[in-house]
Amino acid sequence: MPIATPAQYRAMLDAAQKGGYAYPAINVTSITTINGALRAFAESKSDGIIQVSTGGGKFASGTSVGNEAFGAIVLAEAAHRLAEKYNVLVALHTDHCHPSAVDSFLKPLLQASRERIAEGKGPLFQSHMFDGSVVPLEENLAISKELLKECAELGIILEVEAGCVGGEEDGHDTSGLPAEKLYTTPEDMVDVYEALSPIGRFLFAATFGNVHGSYKPGAVKLKPTILRDGQKAVTDKYGAAAEMDLVFHGGSGTELEEIRETLGYGVVKMNIDTDTQYAFTRPIVTHICQNIEGVLKIDGEVGDKKLYDPRSYLKKAEIGLANRLKEACDDLLSTGKTIFGTV
pLDDT of residue 328: 97
Burial code (b: 16+ CB inside 10 Å, e: under 16) for 246-261 equals bbbbbbbbbeeebbbb
How high is the pLDDT of residue 182?
72
Backbone angles phi, psi at 96, to 5 degrees: 40, 75
Q: Which helix (H) or strand (E) holds 311?
A: helix 310-331
Q: Which residues, given as ranges, of the chain have pLDDT below 50?
A: 166-169, 172-177, 215, 217
Domain residue spans of the chain = 6-331
Q: Over the chain, what is the mean pLDDT? A: 92
CATH number of 6-331: 3.20.20.70
List the catalytic residue out of 95, 131, 170, 273.
Answer: 95
Query: DSSP letters along 2-69, please?
Result: PSPPHHHHHHHHHHHHHHT--EEEEE--SHHHHHHHHHHHHHHT--EEEEE-HHHHHHHT-TTT--HH
Q: What is the dihedral of CA 39, 32, 106, 145, to 10 degrees?
A: 20
List pLDDT tens digits, range 212-253: 555 454 555 788 999 999 999 999 999 999 999 999 997 777
Q: What confidence tens digit (pLDDT) does each residue in 41-97 have?
A: 999 999 999 999 999 999 999 999 999 999 999 999 999 999 999 999 999 999 999
Q: How many residues does the chain have?
A: 343
Number of H helices and number of E strands within the chain?
A: 13, 10
Q: Is 170 a known active-site residue?
A: no
Q: pLDDT above 90 covers what percent of the chain?
A: 85
pLDDT on residue 164: 56
